[in-house]
Amino acid sequence: MRSQLTTGTRREARRGRPQGGGLAAGLMRGKTVIVTGANSGLGRATAAELLRRGARVILACRDRGRAEEAARAGRAPARGSSSGLDLASLRSVRAFCQEVLQEEPRLDVLINNAGVFQCPYTKTEDGFEMQFGVNHLGHFLLTNLLLDRLKDSAPSRIVVVSSKLYKYGEINFEDLNSEVKYNKSFCYSQSKLANILFARELARRLEGTNVTVNVLHPGIVRTNLGRHINIPLLAKPLFNLVSWAFFKTPVEGAQTSVYLASSAEVEGVSGKYFGDCKEEELLPKAMDDSVARKLWDISEVMVGLLK
């Protein structure tokens, strides 16, 4: 019998409070989960929460040393190429997936969590603008290469971490690599909008497979994701005070990812957008199916799935 969250517990989850460790353990026991960017912040908290629920968690991280450190701390097996999983390198993504497919007979949940936030203009190993390359294209290739294993393991789930800042983005098909003009805020928002469009299009393509795809925003969380933001020295004490008072902790921010990965309440639910463990409405631009299909087609070519 599937364990279900109580109404009171779901209410606590929506407020960003950690849920009890055993609540979804029945659903996650024996499940294999991959979490990208799991060596710190939101990803590490997500992995730890799923471990508490009985899952076997694979930490997919760029920094192999930090991944192994996090694995030892959380008793999770680290898996990947010799250099870990670097989403800024399609070669690394392919190597990681090859190892997973060789070593893992099943994959129950994939959580696309890793991200780059408003970094200076740089390019990935393959020449893509860093935020679009890591936040969207790296995860696009990763998910597609692991899709057959997810289908074979169905019922299975894909969870995509986006951001409320998608609202300020557009998909600039004329300059996806921002070579004409680079605005770090716009490019982050574009990549987070791409996450939502990708999740919705993937959910459409997976109808009838018993593989669900949902996307979420974690809220404002105290992590090192904002390390590229320059805060004036005199303003830092005030910013730190505000962040401690109003920002979520990583554990609180991870609750919606954990909910979508483990709760019986969303079994069979797909193509939806969540915040604080409840479904939320999207702006029309995030539900534009023609843009989603166009982005998918272009992404397939960019990552080499189609020549």
Q: Which residues are catalytic?
A: 188
Cα–Cα distance, 43 to 37 (Å, whole number): 5
| Beta carbons of 257 and 236 less than 8 angstroms apart | no
Cα–Cα distance, 302 to 133 (Å, whole number): 10
CA dihedral 17, 160, 201, 167 (to 10 degrees): 70
Cβ neighbours, 10 Å, residue 233: 7
- Supply 90's token pair: 């399609």
C-alpha angle 202/203/209, rounded to 5°? 105
Cβ neighbours, 10 Å, residue 57: 29
Beta strands in 188-232 (DSSP E): 211-217
Residues 6 or more apart from 64 whose CB is under 8 A from it?
78, 80, 82, 83, 84
Cα–Cα distance, 188 to 191 (Å, whole number): 5
| Beta carbons of 189 and 168 less than 8 angstroms apart | yes
Cα–Cα distance, 275 to 248 (Å, whole number): 13
Cα–Cα distance, 74 to 51 (Å, whole number): 7
Give the torsion sign (CA, 88, 91, 93, 95). Answer: negative
